[in-house]
Amino acid sequence: MNVLLDNLALFREGFLGTLWLTVVSALLAVVLGLLIAGFRVSPVPPLRIFGTLWVNVLRNTPLTLLFLVAFFVVPKVLFPGVDSFVLAVCACGFYTSSFVAEAVRSGINTVPMGQAEAARAIGMTFTQTMRIVVLPQATRSVIPPLSSIFIALTKNTAVAGAFDNVDLFNIQKTLSNDGYDIAVIFIWITLGYLVITYAINGLFRLLEKGLEVAR
């Protein structure tokens, strides 16, 4: 019996589940990550403190623990009745945002100091300096670590499978309950992940090429 052909619908559902979760969490992570990185370099101390706390707490907590918070603490205490996909996106997105924020901050660090000084000298404000001079240049050096962060995110979504989300990893349980050979199931699931991670890799290579400038 062929596991893949017999259960094409299930595999499709799992693959799309993983893909969808990855894409939405990645978007959330980028938005949050940029915001937090901005906080961390801003002239306003409370924002800096918030940014530091955010990064340190989220980076040093296992993702599974964040999932426990999302599924058993948030509904209980803060927002009852939130959809489990939203909760999973929040857990993955928040977690990844701390890595994105750090990558962006390191990227800012790679922009030569003279650039910011020059921007200041012609009278740009903090927001202008960041938006027009620093961030566009930082983007180039942020792309490679960002690519690995998103690949990591893809793999991390596997944790969501244990928390009411259909993804590539948890269809494995349904299939092995049906008595299929576990090794074969794993090969197909792994292939599914490889497709997504290689797609991300390729996409970022293209981005990198597009942004390349001779310096």
Partner 1 sequence: MSASVLFDAPGPKARFRNLVYSVVGSIGLAALIAWVCYRLYDKGQFAGELWDIFNYAGIRENILEALLSTLKVFALAGVFSLVFAVLLCVARLSDHKPVRWVAVVFIDLFRSIPLLITIFALWVGILGHMTPMWALVLGLTIYNGCVQAEVLRAGVNSVPKGQVEAAYALGLRKTQVTASVLFPQAVRAMLPSIISQLVVTLKDTSLGYIILYPELLYSARLIANNTPVGGVYPTVQTVIVFGAIYISLCLALAWLAKFVERRGSRSKAGIVPAGAKELEEAAAPAAPETKGPGGAAPPSK
Partner 2 sequence: MFTMKFHKTAAAAAAVLALAATAACGGKEGSAGDKPKDQTDEKALPTYEVAKDVDVDSAVLKKAQKRGKIVIGAKADQPYLGFQDQSTKKYSGFDIEMAKMIAADLGFTPKQIEWKTVDSGARETTVSKGDVDLMIGTYTINDERKKQIDFAGPYFHAGASLLVRKDEKEVTGPESVKDKKVCSIVGSTPLQVIKKPKYGAKVTELSKYSECVSQLLDGQVDAVTTDDAILMGYAAQNSGKLKVVGKPFSDEPYGVGLKKGDAALRKAVADSIKKHEDNGDYKKAYDATLGKSGSKFKTPPEITEK
Residues that bind partner 2 (CB under 8 A): 52, 56, 71-72, 75-76, 80-81, 84, 161-164, 170, 173-174, 176-179
Distance CA 99, CA 149 (A): 7
Are the C-beta atoms of residues 100 and 32 closer than 8 Å to each other? Answer: yes
- Shortest distance, CB of residue 173 to partner 2, whole angstroms? 4
148/174 with CB nearer partner 2: 174
Q: Please identify, using beta-carbon distances, which residue of 125 and 176 lies nearer to partner 2.
A: 176
Q: Which partner, partner 2, partner 1, none, binds residue 81 by CB below 5 to 8 Å per kind?
A: partner 2
Is there binding between residue 16 and partner 1 (CB under 8 A)? no
Q: Is 88 in the site for partner 1 (CB under 8 A)?
A: no
Binding to partner 1, residues 127-186 (CB under 8 A):
129-130, 134, 141, 144-145, 147-149, 151-152, 154-156, 158-159, 162, 169, 172, 182-183, 186
As a whole number of angstroms, the distance between CA 103 and CA 179 comes to 44
**Cα–Cα–Cα angle for 207, 209, 210, nearest 5°?**
65
Tell me if 199 contacts partner 1 by CB under 8 A.
no
- Cα torsion angle, 30, 31, 37, 40, sign: negative
Residue among 2, 16, 109, 178 that touches partner 1 (CB under 8 A):
109
Rounded CA gap, 169 and 205, in Å?
A: 27
Q: Which residues contact 75 (CB under 8 A, 6 or more apart)?
A: 81, 82, 87
Q: Could you say which of partner 1, partner 2, none residue 116 binds, taking C-beta under 5 to 8 angstroms by partner kind?
A: partner 1
| DSSP states of 110-152 | HS-HHHHHHHHHTT--HHHIIIIIIHHHHHHHHHHHHHHHHHH
Under rule CB under 8 A, residue 68 binds partner 1: yes
Q: Give the nearest distance from C-beta 6 to partner 1 in angstroms.
A: 20
Interhelix angle 8-41/135-156, rounded to 10 degrees, is 140
DSSP tag of 163: T
Q: Least distance (Å) from partner 1 to the CB of residue 198? A: 7
Helix, strand, or coil (residue 194): helix
Name the binder of 164 from partner 1, partner 2, none, CB < 5-8 A by kind: partner 2
Which of partner 2, partner 1, none is residue 130 near (CB under 5 to 8 Å by kind)? partner 1
